[in-house]
């Protein structure tokens, strides 16, 4: 199986069930909900995890087996559901040693409601997976608030792609060390990593596609797979989108490659329909985002904290969730040029798409800045209380960035550091760090510590009022 970072999430979820004294284990206090777009490897990951961590495993897929929903037609108390479940599966479920997967749970809203009672029952562990939960939020009778732990999965990022292609952990550690200390790496390593990054640009991170590439190294075969996945997404739009928005959603989805090829990447509704209005299309954009298919990136009024408070929802870019799918959806057969290292300005949209999906997968909220007075910054992201401007340069003139220079010179914005992602090696010039495009894999936001103990000594108040 392909190595995935989400594996660690599953392990930590199960470890939280362990007794702190090291004695007998108890069951997880919550079910784990894995969300994300179709075909990104959720089910495969859970199956493999069950092999390593459980003696018994049971699986219900509500999409491929519509009759599985019948289990939840009766009362939703744990006794009734588990009785129906064992009768339907015709297998023994051993308490304390069994993981139950409820796959594509969006197809059975009552199963989502039953999770509360199943978790309280405590006999078995439960993982749910859902691909279109965000677009079916009104179907669930009652959400199991407090009984689910949610984790969003994405297509494989570039580091996971490196693992799949045999790059050793020592090499990743070496690259990370050079990134942290801003030291150039050897030209041989740099050239090899850029070649691998070019392959990732075309192949992308959909697990089935990556697996086919690793086995055959045949781009024609991977492109065929990618186009079938694009067709699957179109079928999902036809099946799940309400009739009022279905045509709009399909139009937006099909227009993504051409919209990204525009000079400023901004999505322009008039290109779809000269009479289109933002308000009428808002729910259609949200549908694609909630389905995990598209990645919105909103403009901000100023690159200052908090970025969310500065969002302008009427101005945005819309990226595809996977760079390989974007290449397959493009009409220009760009794969050959990309594999030859031709990352010029005409292919800059694909480079931006990669950076967008990497930043999102690593935990950043995506924004960009564009103002007549200053120009446009490709991305501005927030890490703790720090704002990081990020420019993506696909051509050979990566040291030319007038907009970035202007923005960095504004005293009131307190921008102390910026990144330019490019084809060159690591270098530093004042507050700007030039990084190879593949080192986007090391950009991560500041994380909250696992524990933040804080107490207030109120003893000084004891004598007040006496």
Spans of all domains in the chain? 6-18+26-152, 158-442
Dihedral sign (CA 398, 404, 406, 409): negative
Give how far Cα 358 sits from Cα of 215, 270, 295, 466, Å.
Answer: 24, 29, 11, 60
pLDDT digit of tens for each residue in the chain (466 aa)? Answer: 899 999 999 999 998 865 444 444 555 689 999 999 999 999 999 999 999 999 999 999 999 998 999 999 999 999 999 999 999 999 889 999 999 999 999 999 999 999 999 999 999 999 999 988 766 555 677 788 889 999 999 999 999 999 999 999 999 999 999 999 999 999 999 999 999 999 999 999 999 999 999 999 999 999 999 999 999 999 999 988 888 889 989 998 998 888 777 655 566 554 555 555 555 566 788 889 889 999 999 999 999 999 999 998 888 889 999 999 999 998 566 776 777 776 664 577 899 999 999 999 999 999 999 999 999 999 999 999 999 999 999 889 999 999 999 999 999 999 999 999 999 999 999 999 999 999 999 999 988 777 778 889 888 888 776 6
Q: Give residue 313's pLDDT.
A: 80
Residues whose CB is less than 8 angstroms from the CB of residue 234 and which lie 6 or more positions away in sequence, other chains included? 250, 253
Q: Which strand (E) or helix (H) includes residue 368?
A: strand 367-371
* C-alpha–C-alpha distance, residues 11 and 53, integer Å: 9
C-alpha 23: how far from chain center: 37
Q: Which strand (E) or helix (H) includes residue 293?
A: none
Q: Give residue 346's pLDDT.
A: 53
Asked whether 197 and 437 are in contact (CB, 8 A), the reply is: yes
Q: Give residue 22's pLDDT.
A: 41
For domain 6-18+26-152, which architecture applies? Answer: 3-Layer(aba) Sandwich (3.40)
Q: Give residue 187's pLDDT.
A: 97
Residues whose CB is less than 8 angstroms from the CB of residue 161 and which lie 6 or more positions away in sequence, other chains included? 196, 199, 200, 203, 205, 210
Residues whose CB is less than 8 angstroms from the CB of residue 212 and which lie 6 or more positions away in sequence, other chains included? 218, 221, 222, 225
In this structure, the dihedral spanned by the alpha carbons of residues 182, 186, 187 and 189, taken in order and rounded to 10 degrees, is -100
Q: Give residue 135's pLDDT.
A: 66
* C-alpha–C-alpha distance, residues 111 and 113, integer Å: 5
């Amino acid at each position: 199986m392909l190595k995935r970072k989400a594996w660690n999430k599953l392990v930590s979820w199960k470890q939280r069930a362990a007794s702190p004294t090291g004695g007998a284990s108890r069951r997880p206090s919550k079910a784990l909900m894995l969300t994300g777009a179709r075909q990104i490897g959720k089910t495969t990951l859970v199956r493999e995890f069950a092999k390593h961590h459980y003696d018994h495993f049971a699986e219900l897929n509500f999409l491929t087996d519509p009759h599985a929903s019948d289990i939840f037609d009766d009362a939703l108390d744990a006794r009734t559901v588990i009785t129906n479940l064992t009768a339907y599966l015709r297998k023994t479920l051993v308490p304390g040693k069994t993981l139950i997967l409820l796959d594509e749970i969006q197809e059975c809203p009552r199963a989502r409601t039953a999770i509360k009672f199943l978790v309280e029952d405590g006999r078995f562990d439960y993982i749910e997976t859902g691909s279109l939960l965000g677009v079916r939020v009104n179907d669930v009778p009652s959400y199991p608030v407090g009984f689910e732990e949610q984790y969003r999965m994405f297509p494989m990022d570039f580091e996971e792609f490196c693992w799949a292609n045999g790059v050793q952990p020592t090499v990743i550690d070496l690259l990370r060390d050079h990134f942290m200390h801003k030291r150039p790496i050897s030209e041989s390593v740099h050239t090899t990593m850029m070649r691998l990054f070019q392959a990732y640009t075309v192949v992308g991170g959909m697990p089935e596609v990556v697996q086919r590439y690793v086995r055959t190294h045949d781009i024609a075969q991977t492109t065929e797979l990618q186009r079938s996945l694009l067709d699957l997404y179109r079928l999902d739009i036809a099946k799940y989108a309400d009739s009022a928005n279905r045509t709009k959603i399909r139009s937006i989805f099909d227009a993504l490659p051409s919209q990204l090829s525009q000079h400023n990447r901004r999505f322009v509704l008039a290109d779809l329909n000269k009479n289109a209005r933002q308000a009428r299309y808002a729910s259609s954009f949200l549908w694609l985002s909630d389905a995990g298919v598209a990645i919105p990136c909103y403009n901000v009024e100023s690159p200052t904290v908090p970025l969310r408070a500065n969002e302008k929802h009427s101005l945005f870019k819309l990226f595809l969730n996977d760079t390989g799918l974007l290449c397959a959806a493009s009409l220009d057969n760009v794969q050959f040029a990309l594999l030859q290292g031709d990352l010029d300005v005409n292919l800059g949209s694909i480079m931006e798409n990669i950076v967008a999906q990497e930043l999102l997968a690593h935990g950043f909220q995506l924004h960009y800045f564009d103002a007549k007075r200053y120009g446009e910054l490709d991305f501005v992201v927030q890490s703790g209380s720090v704002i990081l401007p990020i420019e993506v340069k696909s051509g050979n003139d990566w040291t030319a960035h007038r907009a970035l220079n202007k923005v960095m010179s504004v005293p009131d914005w307190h921008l102390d550091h910026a990144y330019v992602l490019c084809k060159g090696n690591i270098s530093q010039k004042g507050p700007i760090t030039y990084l190879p495009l593949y080192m986007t894999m090391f950009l991560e936001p500041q994380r909250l510590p696992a524990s933040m103990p804080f107490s207030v000594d109120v003893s000084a108040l004891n004598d007040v009022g006496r």
